[in-house]
Amino acid sequence: MEQRRCIRIRAVYIALLAVFATAFADIAGAVDGAGAEYPVVVETVSFDSADGATRLVGYLFRPEGVGPFPALVLMHGRAGVHAAGRAANPSADSLSARHRHWARTWAAQGYLALLVDGFGPRGHAGGFPRGSYRDRPAAVDEQTVRPRDADGAAVWLRTRPDVDAGRIGLFGWSNGAMATLARVTRGVGDGGASATPFRAAVALYPGCAVPERTRARPQLPLLLVIAGADDEVSPERCIRWATDVASGVAGFEWQVHPGARHNFDGRALGSGASIADREAAAATEAAAFAFIARHLVAAPAR
């Protein structure tokens, strides 16, 4: 029944896909361009991780105006925040197209978006290659360390007068989505998930082995997006976990995009994307914007 509900949810967006898919590249170009259509202020910032040992770097994308704005903490995947070959001279200009596009688009929607670099400050600015999961150092573990980076980012955001401290969300891709799942299910530190500063979260194509094995449950509204033809993580694991979770957790939504590959939203910004990738990217943007608006903006502040 929940699988049918997931399919029905996806069907809501199908009617819009013809428009979204054809317009996606043009929208991306406008948002990622000079910013004339969508004025966005970009800053490089630093703040402490909640691990108590690491000074992190972040890239802050802020709408024009004084705020206070709702905010999102963005967690990159295993390749890091920078475009391939550009991590040696890191800056906001060296960010990958996927990260730049999403951060600018969130800012254009009226959110302050903080993209956290959890790898560069720990000596791994270039990220990690595909298939390297078992060889990565404990210093960047997405289950125990990176959730603390998210917390540190939220703590820092709450000190800013242009941020609505009661309306902060979490958004992650791939390995960063795995950190997102860890944060919203098990939490970190003595406070646990119930002490989270986040109101809602979105996880794009994470690995779901840990939450499936532990039968973890989200403690706040979560949108899980699964690439049906994912070639880096198991979509079947995520489908099994989502089916189990959906039967008893309020505020949990999930989607499967058949034929879409890992990093479908990044692929959709280039020339090598399939139709399924582009459709998934368009539908995911529509779903994420609606989900975050519903849980971060429309819901009463706390």
- Residue 175 is encoded by which pair of tokens? 């390995």
Q: Residue 47: is its pLDDT beyond 60?
A: yes
pLDDT digit string (tens) for 72-114?
Answer: 999 999 989 988 877 778 888 889 999 999 999 999 999 999 9
Q: Residue 1: is its pLDDT beyond 50?
A: no
The domain spans of the chain are 2-298
The pTM of the full predicted model, rounded to 2 decimals, is: 0.86
Distance in Å from the first CA to the final CA of the chain = 33
pLDDT average, residue stretch 154-183: 97
Q: Report the pLDDT value the prediction gives residue 207, as an integer from 0 to 100.
A: 97
Q: Do residues 143 and 182 touch, judged by C-beta distance below 8 A?
A: yes
User: Measuring CA to CA, which residue among 212, 256, 252 is closest to residue 6?
Assistant: 256
Q: Residue 131: is its pLDDT beyond 80?
A: no
Q: Residue 32: is its pLDDT beyond 70?
A: no
- Written as one letter, the residue type at 178 is M
Q: What does the mean pLDDT of the chain come to?
A: 85
User: Measuring CA to CA, which residue among 1, 113, 127 is closest to residue 60?
Assistant: 113
Q: Report the pLDDT value the prediction gives residue 37, as an integer from 0 to 100.
A: 54
Q: Report the pLDDT value the prediction gives residue 302, as an integer from 0 to 100.
A: 59
- Written as one letter, the residue type at 190 is D
- What fold characterizes domain 2-298? Rossmann fold (3.40.50)
Q: Residue 20: is its pLDDT beyond 80?
A: no
Cα-based torsion angle of the residue sequence 223, 228, 232, 235 in order, rounded to the nearest 10 degrees: 70
Q: Residue 137: is its pLDDT beyond 80?
A: yes
